[in-house]
């Protein structure tokens, strides 16, 4: 079941995210956020969804503003994290998120992927993302400089009069 996240999901979301922060370069955070900070993030996201399996939160996806300048307001940055790899949860979460964002008037979605990360690249490519560039040596984590590949997916495309998003 995929549903909107609430602050009550913060402990489960934080538990899923913590190993990615502590043990991998997938996230560039170096300290896992606690439950209170995760609840704050859920409340302030443009959209935050969780996936439950047998009543347990096993993954989440969210969208935030791409940049703060007004002309970017139709674009979002997206992320997905699951603790059941290759289960289809990441795809299902993203598909639901993209449908919601499109309905709300957003035009483009962007995702950053720390390299190397073939599973994430495969997921994003399968969902229609295209590579747009690489930030070289942009982050230092776990003893080495890391590159981030940036990917873009059209949600509803560019229109002459985009209306408002949100």
pTM above 0.85, yes or no: yes
Average pLDDT, stretch 15-28? 97
Question: From CA 156, how far away is CA 105, in angstroms rounded?
Answer: 8
Residue 48's pLDDT band (cuts 50, 70, 90): very high
Q: What's the DSSP call for residue 143?
A: T
Q: Report pLDDT digits (tens) over 55-112.
A: 999 999 999 999 999 999 999 999 999 998 889 999 999 999 999 999 999 999 999 9
Question: From CA 165, how far away is CA 55, in angstroms rounded?
Answer: 32
Q: Is the pLDDT of residue 164 over 90?
A: no
What percentage of the chain reaches a pLDDT higher than 70?
100
Got the DSSP string for 7-51?
GGGHHHHHHHHHHHHHH-SSS--SS---HHHHHHHHHHSSEEEEE
Kindly list the structural domains of the chain, giving each domain's residue range(s) and its CATH number in brackets, ordered by start. Answer: 2-154 (3.40.630.30)
Question: What integer pLDDT is reported at residue 60 of this predicted model?
Answer: 98
Average pLDDT, stretch 27-34? 98
Got the DSSP string for 41-92?
HHHHSSEEEEEEETTEEEEEEEEEES-SSGGGTTEEEEEEEESSTTSSHHHH
Question: From CA 129, how far away is CA 120, in angstroms rounded?
Answer: 11
Could you tell me the CA-to-CA distances from 133 to 25, 114, 150 in Å, in that order?
18, 12, 5
Question: From CA 67, how far away is CA 110, in angstroms rounded?
Answer: 11
Contacts of 88 (CB under 8 A, 6+ apart): none
Question: What integer pLDDT is reported at residue 131 of this predicted model?
Answer: 98
Question: What integer pLDDT is reported at residue 90 of this predicted model?
Answer: 97
């Amino acid at each position: 079941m995929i549903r909107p996240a609430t602050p009550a999901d913060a402990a489960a979301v934080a538990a899923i995210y913590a190993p990615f922060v502590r043990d991998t370069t997938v996230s560039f955070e170096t300290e896992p956020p606690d439950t209170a900070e995760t609840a704050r993030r859920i409340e302030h996201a443009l959209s935050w969804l969780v996936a439950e399996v047998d009543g347990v939160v096993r993954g989440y996806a969210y969208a935030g503003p791409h940049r703060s300048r007004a002309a970017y307001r139709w674009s979002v940055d997206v992320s997905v994290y699951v603790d059941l790899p290759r289960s289809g949860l990441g795809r299902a979460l993203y598909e639901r998120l993209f449908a919601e964002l499109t309905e709300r008037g957003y035009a483009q979605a962007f995702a950053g992927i720390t390299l190397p990360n073939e599973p994430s690249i495969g997921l994003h490519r399968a969902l229609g993302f295209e590579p747009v560039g690489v930030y070289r040596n942009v982050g230092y984590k776990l003893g080495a400089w890391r590159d981030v590949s940036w990917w873009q997916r059209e949600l509803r495309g560019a229109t002459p009069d985009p209306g408002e998003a949100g």
